[in-house]
Structure 1
Amino acid sequence: MDWYPSPDEDLLLRTSAKFATGIAPAVAGSRWFRDLERSDIQGELSGWPAGPTYTLRTTGDRAARRTGRALLVGIPLIANIIANIGGASGSPFGDVPVRGNPEEPENEVQDFPVMWAAPGTLARTVPWQLDPARRPEGYATDLVLTDRRLLFLGTRSGTLAKADVLGEFTRDSIAEARQMKYSEISADVRLTFADQSWIRLFTGNPDSAERLCELLNGTVQAVPESELSSGQRDRLARLLSELPDTAQPPLITRLPSGIVMVEVRVPAKAGKDLYETHSILMDASGGPAKPHPGDL
Structure 2
Amino acid sequence: MLGIPRLINIIGNIAAPSGQLVGEPGSPGKSQDPENEVDDFPVMWAAEGTTARTLPWQLDPARQPKRYRTEVVLTDQRLLILGVDAAAGLAPADELWQVPRTSVAAIERLAYPQNGPDVRVRFTDGSWTRWKVGDGAKLAASFRGERKPVTEDALTPQQQQRVAELLANPPLSVARSVGRVLPVTEPPTLELLPDGTVAVELRVPLSNGTDQTLTRYLSPSGTDVLPKDPAK
TM class by smaller structure: 0.5 to 0.7
Per the alignment, residue 148 of structure 2 pairs with 222
1:107 equivalenced with 2:33 (yes/no): no
Q: Quick check: which one's helix share is greater? A: 1
Partner SS for 1:229: helix
Shift of 1:196: 1.3
- Which sits farther off after the overlay, 253-262 or 112-121? 253-262
Shift of the 281–188 alpha-carbon distance from structure 1 to 2, 3 Å rule, reads same
Shift of 1:24: 6.7
Per the alignment, residue 256 of structure 1 pairs with 194
* The one of 95, 104, 108 aligned to 1:165: 95
For 2:126, the aligned partner's letter is Q
Give the total of aligned pairs. 205
Shift of 1:197: 0.8
Per the alignment, residue 235 of structure 1 pairs with 163
CA distance in structure 1 between the partners assigned to 2:114 and 2:60 by the alignment: 16
Shift of the 140–102 alpha-carbon distance from structure 1 to 2, 3 Å rule, reads same
Per the alignment, residue 288 of structure 1 pairs with 222
Deviations 1:7-30 (A, max 9, x none): xxx5571323574643579xx99x
Q: Identity of counterpart residues, as a percentage? A: 37
**Is the 2:122–2:129 Cα contact (8 Å) retained in structure 1?**
yes
Shift of the 234–276 alpha-carbon distance from structure 1 to 2, 3 Å rule, reads closer
Per the alignment, residue 207 of structure 2 pairs with none
CA distance in structure 1 between the partners assigned to 2:44 and 2:126 by the alignment: 11
**Is the 1:262–1:280 Cα contact (8 Å) retained in structure 2?**
yes
**Is the 2:137–2:229 Cα contact (8 Å) retained in structure 1?**
no
Per the alignment, residue 133 of structure 1 pairs with 62
For 2:152, the aligned partner's letter is L
CA distance in structure 2 between the partners assigned to 1:129 and 1:180 by the alignment: 23
Per the alignment, residue 117 of structure 1 pairs with 46
Partner SS for 1:256: coil
CA distance in structure 2 between the partners assigned to 1:11 and 1:189 by the alignment: 20
Q: Which runs of 5+ in 1 are unaligned?
A: 30-68, 78-95, 267-274
Larger Rg, first or second structure (1 or 2): 1
For 2:58, the aligned partner's letter is Q
